[in-house]
Amino acid sequence: MIEQVLLADGEICRFCSSTAGRRIMIESEFGFAAWDLHPASVGHFLVIPHRHVSDYFKINDQERQELWRLVSEGKAMVDVKHNPDGYNIGINVGKWSGQSIPHLHIHVIPRYQGDVENPKGGVRGVIPQKKLYTIELD
């Protein structure tokens, strides 16, 4: 039975509430991978620990190892099903990084040639004015 965690706003954590309705790809002792309900691209999935913990830096070594194994296994599934040209992998830690659900989750977002005009900078795009940069050599 999954423990239901009540959040500060009085809501139940959506990742702790139930496995019913989840679009689970794979599951393990410490977590699971599930298709994102609001995907940024075709094949976007999340890797989520079973234990309610909001901060990536507060998981233990067993959880960390298992979650990254789920990232790799999920990526292999997406490769077969959708054949993307690349991936962005990201974790939001804290309100000011954009974390809206206070339960750790790793985004694995497939990328496709032409999905944006200029992909340079990748994850740096979370701060738009820092996305494009030039390397200055002395």
The 10s digit of each residue's pLDDT in 100-136 is: 999 999 999 999 999 999 999 999 888 888 888 777 7
Neighbouring CB atoms inside 10 A of 126's CB total 13
What's the whole-number mean pLDDT along residues 47-67? 97
CATH number of 24-131: 1.10.10.60, 3.30.428.10, 3.40.50.300, 3.20.20.70? 3.30.428.10
Q: Cite the active site residues.
A: 105
* pLDDT value of residue 11: 81
C-alpha–C-alpha distance, residues 58 and 131, integer Å: 28
pLDDT of residue 1: 42
Is 90 a residue whose pLDDT tops 80? Answer: yes
User: For residue 14, what pLDDT is reported?
Assistant: 84
